Amino acid sequence: MKRNVYISAAASVVLIVGGPVAAAAAATADTARTAPAAVARADVDAQGAAEAALKKYPGVVESLDKDGSVWHVDVISKDGKGHAELEVASNGKVTQVGKDTNDDPGEYKALLAAKVTAQQAMKAAVAAHPGTAWAVEWDDDDGATYWHVEVKESNGKTWNAHVDPTTAKVTASGSDSNDNDNDNDND
């Protein structure tokens, strides 16, 4: 009889102590499952915007720039016949603004043949000059082809670079800007 009382008392202690512990463990597990949804996503950077745009419309990034909290990305289809204008929000959501499927593939021949992508050009420019890639654009003016990359420095100044589409060699473009906020242009 004494033994049954001891067993019953021990079981009661386990239930009294274990109940709140089990409830806390369950609450922690439930919080862990819902925590990511409650945490706000960080702004998408230029690389993330390019990746998101290419998931929506596969091809080659022709240009990318940030206006406020939205990235504007132009993508050329891999066959050069299509062109899409996309917007990537700060949370990574992609919206297709425009699309053309009647482009002349010859117009994009050099871009499609480039060994260095827009994403690689941005990485090369940031490696050469610390900051944040803010814009990239394929440029084939005057017969020369290169990536024009804008790198925003921590002090707000913009450093402009030309990146060779074959070697990824970075050179300063000579058109640096002292503007502190170029992303709100009303062109």
End-to-end CA distance of the chain: 91
Instruction: State whether 56 and 35 are in the same domain.
Output: no
Instruction: State whether 35 and 118 are in the same domain.
Output: no
User: Exposed/middle/buried for 173, CB within 10 Å: 0-12, 13-18, 19+?
Assistant: middle
For the chain, the residue count is 187
In a domain, 180, yes or no: no
User: Exposed/middle/buried for 57, CB within 10 Å: 0-12, 13-18, 19+?
Assistant: buried
Residue, of 186 and 2, whose pLDDT is higher: 2
Dist. CA 40–CA 63, nearest whole Å: 28
Which of 163, 153, 156 shows the shortest CA–CA distance to 129? Answer: 153
Q: Is the pLDDT of residue 58 over 90?
A: yes
In a domain, 104, yes or no: yes
- The domain tally of the chain equals 2
Residues 104-155: pLDDT tens digits?
888 899 999 999 999 999 999 999 999 999 999 999 877 789 999 999 999 9
Instruction: State whether 50 and 127 are in the same domain.
Output: yes
The residues, ordered by sequence, that sit 6+ positions from 44 with a Cβ below 8 Å of its Cβ are 52, 71, 88, 89, 90, 91, 92
In a domain, 132, yes or no: yes
The pLDDT value recorded for residue 182 is 43
Instruction: State whether 56 and 3 are in the same domain.
Output: no
Complete edge-to-edge strand list for the sheet that includes strand 132-139: 94-100, 83-88, 70-76, 60-67, 132-139, 146-152, 158-163, 170-172
In a domain, 101, yes or no: yes
The model's confidence at residue 175, banded by pLDDT at 50, 70 and 90, is low
Q: What is the mean pLDDT of the chain?
A: 78
Instruction: State whether 29 and 61 are in the same domain.
Output: no
Q: Is the pLDDT of residue 19 over 70?
A: no
The pLDDT value recorded for residue 89 is 94
Only one residue has tokens 């390019």, namely 50
Residue 84: give the domain boundaries.
46-172
Instruction: State whether 78 and 149 are in the same domain.
Output: yes
Residue, of 4 and 93, whose pLDDT is higher: 93
The pLDDT value recorded for residue 48 is 93
